[in-house]
Structure 1
Amino acid sequence: MSDKCDLCLLGLIILCSLLTGNSGVNDAHVFISSGEDVRLPCNNALSDCTSTTWIYFSFRHSGTVELIIGGKKKKDTERHERLSLGSDCSLNIKNVTKEDPGFYSCRQYVNDEQQGTDARVSLHFLHVSSSSSSSSSSSSQTEISPGRFVTLSCQLYSYDGESCDRWAHSEGIHLLWVNQAGVDLTTDSRYQISSSGLCIINLTTTLLKEDDNREWRCRLTHRNQVKTSVRYTVKYSDPAVTASTEVSRTAGLLFRVIVMIVEIAVFAAPTVILLQIICARRAGRKNSQHLEEIEMPTRLQ
């Protein structure tokens, strides 16, 4: 019961820190893009990581979760396979997803007594999803083609939506779409840039032939310093390859049809010849019988 109370108290402390802006000297912010690996520092680590406990808190999950206890991973956590403890007691997370953002606290225990204060780390996750006029749902890059419009949505996952906007405003978070050279795309009339709060920014444009292999970036700055960015590269399927594939398929189908016709002709030819022979013999017999019937009266006379 006391452990649960401690975890609840930790959540309340973190919530109060967020709302009041008093995050403390030990707090750190880490920004990461989708699919990358991240290292969360433990700034209060002792010489032996067996004293280290890592705790995770997220408003979306409405609670706290113990990830590392006494330097060992808990096996009943969903992200168990993606977690590891560094030699400096840092927490390593592989292939970060939008389920990972939130508050992480590194806490030290010696003889069941906490040593010092928590070292808190806030993990923020930047992700880009795409949708095009060819599909109402998110589509892969290979499905888009010239002449269609595409919308790229860049979202910062931090806390919950409302808290993210409030925190982003207080911390000077800014999202921006830029081209490969780093030029702000709002300066180009072919791009429509829209936002939904401070944590979501969208880019919409009609694709051109020259957009193949073009790169766009969603860039995040924290207090005027670039922290991370997500790249989206346009990939068209090769029309020549597609046409060649269709020709090959048609030629293959035609070849199979010709083979079937030849096979049928080969097997059917002997049958046709045999039927002709049988019909000819039957016709010959009928003619012989007819001649005999005509000659019979003559013989009788």
Structure 2
Amino acid sequence: MSDNNHLCLLGLIFLSSLLTGVSGVDYVHVFISSGEDVRLPCNNALQDCTSTTWSYNNRFRDSAVELIHLGEKNKDTERHERLSLGSDCSLNIRNISTEDYGSYICQQWTGENGKHQKQGPDAGVYLHVLHVSSSHTEISSGLSVTLFCRLYSYPRVSCDDLVSSERIDLFWVNQTGVKSDSRYQISSSSDQCIISLNKTLLNEDHNREWRCEVTQKDQVKSSVTYTVNSSGEKTSHYQF
């Protein structure tokens, strides 16, 4: 396809998105932890993925970025090496980072000689990325440590809005699954989806696990188990 036809099709995609708006897209929510691989479903796929186009946007971009064009990867994107198209036209992303969260839209375009028409409704995915970090890397008994658990979400709304509209929530639990402990202080932010766990370490905390869970409608969608060793070594284990 010529560059002019490529630009024309891309313009049609963006125009179609503007005209239909969010209400014209059937969105699903996908939750993943940073460092893992994810599959984003394309629920409007045709038999031949050569008609499939994937585009991406988040709150830091002025316009959408085309990742897959008529079944082929756009090699001009920074992360094209981490992308692949599944046999069912799903979008696979390896080694997810916090920068990958956002809105992904799958569209189907059919035609030839540069004349393409969009087929069916758009299929959209809101990708939420769960990430845990620590205030310290060197750990010792008596040290006050804070673990931060953040859910990177799109569109940019307050965490309170996500809780009320999509029933998405964050929790810290200990290795026995208890959500609260008198020795630990849990704080959260209503502006951002972030919850922190503050604690002063004791000798008994060596190799103790804390788990951050993200739930939707009271069902666990993703979690990160974080273990801090007194030697300063830290490990993270991801569960789905």
> What's the TM-score, normalizing by structure 1?
0.68
d(CA) in 2 for partners of 1:57 and 1:13? 16
d(CA) in 2 for partners of 1:82 and 1:54? 14
Note if contact 1:219-1:228 (Cα within 8 Å) is conserved in structure 2.
yes
Map 1:21-100 onto structure 2 (within 5 A).
22=23, 26-100=26-100
d(CA) in 1 for partners of 2:149 and 2:163? 15
Map 1:1-12 onto structure 2 (within 5 A).
3-4=10-11, 6-7=13-14, 10=17
Instruction: From 221, 228, 231, give the equivalent of 1:227.
Output: 221
The structure with the largest alpha-carbon Rg is 1
**Structure 2 residue 132 is the aligned partner of structure 1 residue 128:** yes
Instruction: From 189, 193, 214, give the equivalent of 1:199.
Output: 193
Shift of 1:231: 1.4
**Equivalence for 1:145:** 140
Higher relative contact order (CA 8 A, sep 6+): 2
Shift of 1:113: 1.1
**Equivalence for 2:172:** 177
**Quick one: structure 1 residues 59 and 5, their matched pair in 2 at CA, closer, same or farther if it must change by over 3 Å?**
farther
Map 1:241-280 onto structure 2 (within 5 A).
none
Instruction: From 96, 115, 133, give the equivalent of 2:119.
Output: 115
> What's the TM-score, normalizing by structure 2?
0.85
**Quick one: structure 1 residues 23 and 155, their matched pair in 2 at CA, closer, same or farther if it must change by over 3 Å?**
farther
d(CA) in 1 for partners of 2:69 and 2:105? 12
Amino acid at match of 1:61: R
Percent identity between the two aligned chains: 60
Backbone CA RMSD of aligned residues: 2.0
More helix, by proportion: 1
d(CA) in 1 for partners of 2:174 and 2:58? 33
**Quick one: structure 1 residues 43 and 93, their matched pair in 2 at CA, closer, same or farther if it must change by over 3 Å?**
same
Shift of 1:162: 3.6
Shift of 1:196: 0.8
d(CA) in 2 for partners of 1:97 and 1:75? 19
**What stretches of structure 2 of length at least 5 have no aligned partner?**
1-6, 233-240
d(CA) in 2 for partners of 1:6 and 1:107? 8
**Structure 2 residue 195 is the aligned partner of structure 1 residue 217:** no
Amino acid at match of 1:126: L
d(CA) in 2 for partners of 1:203 and 1:237? 20
How many residue pairs get aligned? The number is 220
Note if contact 1:8-1:63 (Cα within 8 Å) is conserved in structure 2.
no
d(CA) in 1 for partners of 2:103 and 2:176? 34
SS at 1:88 equivalent: coil
**Quick one: structure 1 residues 12 and 190, their matched pair in 2 at CA, closer, same or farther if it must change by over 3 Å?**
farther
**Quick one: structure 1 residues 118 and 163, their matched pair in 2 at CA, closer, same or farther if it must change by over 3 Å?**
farther
**What stretches of structure 1 of length at least 5 have no aligned partner?**
133-138, 239-301
Amino acid at match of 1:66: E
d(CA) in 1 for partners of 2:19 and 2:151? 23
d(CA) in 2 for partners of 1:164 and 1:204? 20
Query: How big is each residue's C-alpha offset from its partner over 1:88-125, in whole Å with a ceiling of 9 and x where there is no partner?
Result: 11100001111111111111111011111111111001
Query: How big is each residue's C-alpha offset from its partner over 1:120-167, in whole Å with a ceiling of 9 and x where there is no partner?
Result: 1110011111103xxxxxx3xxx2111101001111101265455423
Shift of 1:46: 0.9
**Equivalence for 1:281:** none
